[in-house]
Structure 1
Amino acid sequence: MRTTLNFLLYDWLRVETLCERQRFEDHSRATFEAVLDTSERIARDRFAPFNRLVDSEEPQFDGERVRLPAATQAAVSAYAESGLLAAGHDYEYGGMQLPYVIDMAANSFFSKASIGLSAYAMLTYANGNLLMAYGTPAQRKAFAEPGMVGRSMGTMCLSEPQAGSSLGDILTKAVPDGVDFAIDPLGPRYRLSGSKMWISGGDHELSENIIHLVLAKIPCADGKLPDGVGGISLFVVPRKLVDAEGKLSGERNDVALAGLNHKLGYRGTVNTLLNFGEGRYPVRSGEMAEAKAGALGYLVGEPGQGLHCMFHMMNEARINVGMGATMLGYAGYLASLDYARNRPQGRLQSTRSSDVPVPQVRIIEHADVKRMLLAQKSYVEGGLALGLYCAHLIDERNTGDVDSAQQADTLLGILTPVAKSWPSEWCLEANNLAIQVHGGYGYTRDFQVEQYWRDNRLNMIHEGTHGIQGRDLLGRKVLAGDGYALHVWRNRVEAAIEAARPLRELNELASTMNSALDRLMVATRNAWSWGNAHETLANATPYLQAFGHTVIAWIWLQVAAAAVRDMHGSGTLGSDFYLGKLQAARYFFRHELPKTEAWLHVVAQRDLTALDMQDAWF
């Protein structure tokens, strides 16, 4: 995996050129490699050996506190001590000012080693990034900076038991905390009450504090909650109260653990139902005030802008979820590749008619096993390249010139639904194939591939289901700015096609890519030609699948072009490495990309089979 990672970073994305920018001028390939080496070592030593342990000894609540294996604390502490929690932040905050693409690459080792153990850091990092973007200086100091050194961990609290993904229907409310609520140095003070469901990292003893970012509604003058998402505000709610310097006051906030969710996978990450303001831990507003119910929270940003602020964390989390799904697929691929290379079974068809006894062959010599391994390789390496490409776009958005920053932001908008959904579907399929390669052993606990599948199955739901991502893509992203984002992306695809055409090995793929792009554009126009959003969005998921496969084909075309150029130039990784990349690209174009025709057919024809289905007919 490390060789592929380096190839994608340095030969394809050429991330060393980022060091020419002021923010990253202290860095070089040597510093990037040092970060990757450290991450790989910690993941190998502190995470991977305990992946099975934290799956089998899942979190338990003893009535007072959540109990986790000691290995969880050791892993989280080792990560924090490495400085990776502050890796992308400014030097003045103790950060490394690393490019986001290097940060993403470093964290890929942890997702592969143990997705359950790595989630605490991922959430904390994204939590801190939101506060650094939208919080006041005092909020950054009190709530974000402790997270950069591991003194606190972070969460995002969106869903509720009765609302799920329908955030406009949340009922958690936030009322001003007295007449002087606006003079607290940490910001306008509110009392929150309500319940939040599916909160990863919601309660534990891994850090001295937990910083919750909570979506809630401020009641209108008549006391009723505003309708829809426009009335949602964002609040920072610490598990334990702190002063303006971020030091613990010693008082527990009115945030109570109501129960644990016991999941199919990701068992190493505690997942909770939290009650805010139920009165179990009444708190004071000030030194002389009487303690009362209601979790003390501080407004982040402006009232009614909560979802806008939270999307900063959600979009980052979506790309991270996609990368996590990719790395689980990658772990399964490498495990099944190793198994196939070492498991003798059966004989090749050409030897069966011989009268001479023939020894068994390794199963990797069977064509169908090669097919399953090649499919996995095309999925997981394509997903890895997509995740790194999106991370590189974040660096471009943050540090590029005005035009390139705008284009990067536009591309991120249209690619984020794909970066989340495509790996979570197709790298899960890679895990499915990894089990199949193992045969009967695959669904036993003798091998970890069954756990990789269970862990990965959650990613199709985490941070927005396929249905949500599809509606976002077809209903908003491809229409935004009169199709400007689609136009920017199409230009990038056409540039990749033109760059690949002169390469003899890629001429076929370039032509196929051009046809696939045309099909997608025609289907997109046809889908909206009738102007009926309800009918068009009935096929949003097939559109998402087709768009995702087209994006991955475009990514593979670029990666294959880099491999061909290296193979004919000064590449040092060996011809087998480059030929493997080229063959994976061919597989994706020949076996996977044709699937888009069926998906786009129902989109272009506005097929209403699903929409017209009646409840009683089921």
Structure 2
Amino acid sequence: MRDTVDFLLHHWLNVAALTERERFADHSAETFGQVLDTCEKIAREKFAPFNRLVDVEEPRFDGEKVILPQATQEAWDAYAESGMLSAAQDYDIGGMQLPYTVEAAANAFFSKASVSIGSGMLSVGNANLLMAHGTETQKRVFALNEFSGRFSGTMCLSEPQAGSSLSDVATRATPDGEGHEADPLGPRYRLKGNKMWISAGEHELTENIIHLVLAKIPGPDGKTIPGVKGISLFIVPKKLVDTDGQLTGERNDVALAGLNHKCGWRGTTNTLLNFGEGRFKPGGQAGAVGYLVGKPGQGLACMFHMMNEARIGVGMAATMLGMAGYEASLAYARQRPQGRPMGVGGKDAAAPQVPIIEHADVKRMLLAQKAYSEGALALALYCARLVDEQHTAGPEAADQAKWLLEVLTPIAKSWPSEWCLEANSLAIQVHGGYGYTRDFPVEQYWRDNRLNMIHEGTHGIQGLDLLGRKVVMDGGKGLTLLATTINRTIEQAGQVPGLAEHGAALAAALQKLGAATKAAWSTGVPEEALANATAYLQAFGHVVLAWVWLDVALSVHQHEAQLPEAFAQGKRQACRYFYAYELPRIDAWLGVVARREATCREMQDAWF
């Protein structure tokens, strides 16, 4: 994996060019390499050896606290001490001012070693949100303590009765008495309600847990505003703190209602939390103390800052689980003897067995895994590079990066979640019956990866977001820009023997995608356009990955003299596989989109 990461960073994405910008001027290719070396070492020593342990020793509640294996504490401490929680932050708050591209690549090692133990994704996202939308005091008291690893963070959106339908959240926040607006930590409210599926919602890994909670506040008439317009965002710490960030010794009214027992990701606590049930009474009264972030009614807009960041993180987690399964099944295929070559006269039973990697169908399964996982890694790092462009490039380049991210974020989250899960399924298949046992790690990789199509916005939601919003925003500006970017690669590929054919296939696919997009919306009826949004998401993702692989293959061609021959040939063959076996799938998906296929939306409950 490391050779692929280095190639993508230095040859394909040219991260060294970022050091010419003022923010990253103190860095070099050498310092970037040192960061990767450090994270790879910590992941190898503190995370990977305990991936099975945290799977079988699930979090448990002893009546007072949640208990996790000691290995989880040691892994968290090592990660926090590495400085990676604040890797991209300013020097003056203890950060390293690393490009996000390098930070994302470095964190990939932890996802691959043990996604279940985790690498602080939610804490960093929580703190980044506060740095963007919080007051100076909120940044100092909460965000900086999360960046140091002293505190950790969560996001509390879903509720037992609402799930992904955030307009139906029932958690309420009311002003906390006289002078509530003058609290130095922010306008102070009391929250009551329940939140579900809260990852890392209760543990003893850090001194405090900072919950970011969506809740509705009373409108000017004292009534709750319906829909998402009434949602505000609150900082709700597990333990109350003063303006210096020190614990006051008082527990907030946030109580663990239960632990969810999951198919995978068992090393991460996943909780149902009750806010304001009265078990704890800060200040002598029931209700969890929360501090308003941003303006009233702007909670969802603020939370999307964290959600979009988390979606790219989920995509990377799915990618690295796919990569872990690929590497495991590749190693197994190279050493597992079974079967004999098929000669002209049939098999020679007296001949020695060959490793299963010699069989064409096993090569098919390994090539699929390579194409899925390495392609997804390239996509995730490309999106990370766009984040750096958005924050540090000139105005025009930053604006283009913003629009590309708008369109690509649903793909960066969903495509790896679906196809790297398929890679894990193929890894099990390569192992045969052994893959279905716990004697090998591939079954756990599949179980861990199955979550990624669900959390931080399900597959269906990503499809609706893509076709219903992202490709039609501002007259289709993002989609047009993406098409221009893809066409630039197609034009370059047309000059390279062996890649021109792929370029022509991609051009045809891009034309079909554009036509299907227009056909879906031709009647102007959202119900008709969006009924097949998931099929659109799948086709869109495959077109994007075909482009990614073609662009990577171009980079291989351009830097061939600097690359090992086997490495370069492997990348070419994965690209060839994608165009031969994967890109043709889009015709079926786009067919139902273009004709606004009505089968699913016209199906009735009674007919099932």
Deviation at 1:224, TM superposition (A): 3.4
Deviation at 1:225, TM superposition (A): 2.2
Match of 2:586 in 1: 596
SS at match of 2:245: coil
- Contact 2:372 2:423 (C-alpha < 8 Å) held by counterparts: yes
Match of 2:278 in 1: 279
Match of 1:434 in 2: 427
Distance 1:347 1:205 in 2: 55
Question: Kindly tell me: are residues 356 and 184 of structure 1, through their superposed partners in 2, closer, same or farther at Cα, counting changes over 3 Å?
Answer: closer
1:617 partnered with 2:604: no
1:57 partnered with 2:60: no
Residue 189 of structure 2 aligns with an amino acid whose one-letter code is Y
Match of 2:14 in 1: 14
Distance 2:346 2:460 in 1: 52
1:393-441 CA distances to partner (integer Å, 9 max, x unpaired)?
0000000000000000010001000000000000000000000000000
Deviation at 1:483, TM superposition (A): 0.6
Distance 1:356 1:505 in 2: 39
- Contact 1:282 1:293 (C-alpha < 8 Å) held by counterparts: yes
- Contact 2:340 2:349 (C-alpha < 8 Å) held by counterparts: no
- Contact 1:257 1:273 (C-alpha < 8 Å) held by counterparts: yes
Match of 2:450 in 1: 457
1:446 partnered with 2:436: no
Match of 2:388 in 1: 395
Distance 1:380 1:421 in 2: 13
1:295 partnered with 2:305: no
* Structure 1 gaps, min length 5: 285-290
Distance 1:259 1:63 in 2: 11
Spell out the pairing of 1:363-378 with structure 2 (5 A cutoff): 363-378=356-371
Which one of the candidate residues 344, 354, 358 is aligned to 1:361? Answer: 354
Which one of the candidate residues 573, 581, 584 is aligned to 2:574? Answer: 584
Distance 1:176 1:22 in 2: 44
TM-score, with structure 2 as normaliser: 0.99
Which one of the candidate residues 337, 340, 343 is aligned to 1:347? Answer: 340
Distance 2:55 2:34 in 1: 30
Match of 1:185 in 2: 184
Residue 7 of structure 2 aligns with an amino acid whose one-letter code is F
Question: Kindly tell me: are residues 204 and 351 of structure 1, through their superposed partners in 2, closer, same or farther at Cα, counting changes over 3 Å?
Answer: farther
1:123 partnered with 2:105: no
Deviation at 1:71, TM superposition (A): 0.4
Match of 1:288 in 2: none
Question: Kindly tell me: are residues 479 and 560 of structure 1, through their superposed partners in 2, closer, same or farther at Cα, counting changes over 3 Å?
Answer: same
Distance 2:252 2:125 in 1: 22
Deviation at 1:353, TM superposition (A): 3.3
Deviation at 1:223, TM superposition (A): 4.2
1:66-111 CA distances to partner (integer Å, 9 max, x unpaired)?
0100000000000000111110100011000000000000000000
Over the matched positions of the two proteins, sequence identity in percent amounts to: 65
1:327-357 CA distances to partner (integer Å, 9 max, x unpaired)?
0000000000000000000112217736671
- Contact 1:564 1:582 (C-alpha < 8 Å) held by counterparts: no
Distance 1:73 1:412 in 2: 35
1:489 partnered with 2:486: no
Match of 2:34 in 1: 34
The alignment of Structure 1 onto Structure 2 pairs a total of residues equal to 608
Match of 1:68 in 2: 68
SS at match of 2:521: helix
- Contact 1:505 1:564 (C-alpha < 8 Å) held by counterparts: no
Distance 1:180 1:116 in 2: 43
Spell out the pairing of 1:205-604 with structure 2 (5 A cutoff): 205-284=204-283, 291-350=284-343, 353=346, 357-567=350-560, 570-571=561-562, 573-604=563-594
SS at match of 1:202: coil
Deviation at 1:220, TM superposition (A): 2.6
Question: Kindly tell me: are residues 224 and 354 of structure 1, through their superposed partners in 2, closer, same or farther at Cα, counting changes over 3 Å?
Answer: closer
Distance 1:123 1:166 in 2: 21
Larger displacement relative to structure 2 (37-46 or 228-237): 228-237
Question: Kindly tell me: are residues 244 and 515 of structure 1, through their superposed partners in 2, closer, same or farther at Cα, counting changes over 3 Å?
Answer: same
Larger displacement relative to structure 2 (354-363 or 404-413): 354-363
Deviation at 1:219, TM superposition (A): 1.9
SS at match of 2:343: helix
Deviation at 1:244, TM superposition (A): 1.0
SS at match of 1:165: coil
1:512-534 CA distances to partner (integer Å, 9 max, x unpaired)?
11000000000001111111101
SS at match of 1:317: helix
SS at match of 2:476: helix
SS at match of 2:559: helix
- Contact 2:277 2:287 (C-alpha < 8 Å) held by counterparts: yes
Distance 1:283 1:354 in 2: 78
SS at match of 1:333: helix
Spell out the pairing of 1:13-162 with structure 2 (5 A cutoff): 13-119=13-119, 121-162=120-161
SS at match of 1:210: strand
> What stretches of structure 1 move > 4 A for 4+ residues in a row?
none
* Structure 2 gaps, min length 5: none
Match of 1:287 in 2: none
- Contact 2:328 2:442 (C-alpha < 8 Å) held by counterparts: yes
Distance 1:577 1:505 in 2: 17
SS at match of 1:55: helix
SS at match of 1:195: strand
- Contact 2:341 2:347 (C-alpha < 8 Å) held by counterparts: no
